Structure 1
Amino acid sequence: MERLLVLVRHGQSEWNLKNLFTGWKDPDLTKQGVDEAVAAGKKLKEMGLTFDIAFTSVLTRAQHTEALILEQLGQTGLESIRDQALNERDYGDLTGLNKDDARKKWGDEQVHTWRRSYDVPPPGGESLKMTAERVLPYFEDRIMPVVMKGQRVLVTAHGNSLRALIMKLEGLTPEEILKRELGTGVPIVYRFNEDGSVASVKDLAD
């Protein structure tokens, strides 16, 4: 029985390009982001992968990425479940600000702490720890049981919601996961043992 999970961070968004804190705001993909999502679909097709079900956030950039991947796989009608549990981290008062402007306002060290600390949230927003506290229960209740039934699952989401999953799957410490860079539009393929442990992981950026 194949137990397969593919995680994909959405392609470059309009606000990624502008160097803005995005969070729960809803910009779409740039042309580069579209190209990244199409390339992700092509890589998965080259591996001979198709999916039984897909999960994504309620945000356009993740849904658009999913749609482009499935189009490449000839699976445009695949069941897709959308839930805000998979949304990006909420950046609170930083949302919509240019990252350089935020550094000028609060200082390099403070902004770095908000961005790269595991459990210190920005004003009015979520830390990575808080993001994990909503992502992981959803993953364990809704997604992992489907994987363990032998279905092939695609999850298209966001840098920090996926970091929360990767931290759990790979047994990483808070320090290790904060150093983990996730490329936009890059699939990460997990296969699982019968006991739910990770048998193999392949980052298709390699």
Structure 2
Amino acid sequence: MSMYKLFLLRHGEGAWNRENRFCSWVDQKLSEDGVKEARDCGRLLKELGYNFDLVFTSILSRSIQTAWLVLEAMGQEWVPVVKSWRLNERHYGALIGLNRAEMAARHGEEKVKLWRRSYDITPPPIDESHPYFSEIYTDRRYSTCDVEKEKLPRAESLKEVLDRLLPYWESTVVPEICQGRTVLIAAHGNSCRALLKHLEGISDEDIASVTLPTGIPVLLELDAQLKPVKGRQLLGDQQKIQAAIKKVEDQGKAKAST
């Protein structure tokens, strides 16, 4: 029997999504299309009659901006938004800023798929010579975290994303759901995938094939033990959703030479 509803949302398209680059912890605003995706998502949720009591986001602008636009489109701007680095996108280490298709052409599509989708493979870590190292680690937002800046990750596998996410989920999000509040988590592709893996009991192998397109809300209906009572529902036009999923999957493929 369904007792609770939980909504997961990968943020709308960002500038580096459009450019097919590993964005990770580099702060990016939404693209024009990403703004439209977030507003369209809010309008859809309003049409379907949903209301939120609380929204959780990462501390990255594209996640926060998505939450704001969704709530604005729903006429629910007053709903509290709570931010934590523990919902940040996966830290892609030395891959940050690189183009996925170019990497696939250089290293092979299977290698890039392992870096992007595998559960327990960590990419090479970022170091101080990396062009985005300073931008990330001197950012004031990371002095607000519940761990020292020096102990923040330099690269993460999906498993490591889940490891840093689960304490926050259990200590902060779960109590709100168990009080009957309807929660939206507006975060990132990998933080949402990690949470889906945990909630749905997805195997280490099968999680590689779980794809979440930008701006598409995912509904989970949960029982009293916060176990799904049915499969996840990607809300909206199913044909468009499948096209969006394919677009994400194709990002890791080498472009055909002309």
TM-score by length of 2: 0.76
Deviates more, 1:102-111 or 1:56-65: 102-111
Aligned residues: 206
In structure 2, stretches of 5+ residues that fail to align are 126-154, 239-258
* Residue 194, structure 1, aligned to residue 224, structure 2: yes
Q: 1:100 to 1:192 in 2, by over 3 A?
A: closer
Note the alpha carbon deviations across 1:130-182, whole angstroms, 9 max, x for none.
11111122112111221111001111000000000111111111121110110
Q: Which of the pair has more CA radius of gyration?
A: 2
Return the alpha-carbon distance in structure 2 between the equivalents of residues 193 and 65 of structure 1: 28
What are the equivalent positions in structure 2 for 1:135-146 lying under 5 Å apart?
A: 135-146=165-176
Residue 203 of structure 1 corresponds to 234
Instruction: Give the SS at the match of 2:229.
Output: strand
Identity of aligned residues (%): 42
Cα offset, 1:111, TM superposition: 2.6
Residue 165 of structure 1 corresponds to 195
In structure 1, stretches of 5+ residues that fail to align are none
Cα offset, 1:103, TM superposition: 3.4
Residue 117 of structure 1 corresponds to 118
Question: Does the aligned pair in 1 maintain the 2:57–2:67 contact within 8 Å?
Answer: yes
What are the equivalent positions in structure 2 for 1:1-206 lying under 5 Å apart?
A: 3-124=4-125, 125-200=155-230, 201-205=232-236, 206=238
Question: Does the aligned pair in 2 maintain the 1:94–1:102 contact within 8 Å?
Answer: no
Greater share of strand residues, 1 or 2? 1
Task: Tell me the amino acid that sits aligned with residue 161 of structure 1.
Answer: S
Return the alpha-carbon distance in structure 1 between the equivalents of residues 221 and 205 of structure 2: 25
Return the alpha-carbon distance in structure 1 between the equivalents of residues 114 and 221 of structure 2: 34
Q: 1:100 to 1:195 in 2, by over 3 A?
A: closer
Return the alpha-carbon distance in structure 2 between the equivalents of residues 179 and 160 of structure 1: 12
Return the alpha-carbon distance in structure 1 between the equivalents of residues 110 and 228 of structure 2: 36
Task: Tell me the amino acid that sits aligned with residue 40 of structure 2.
Answer: A
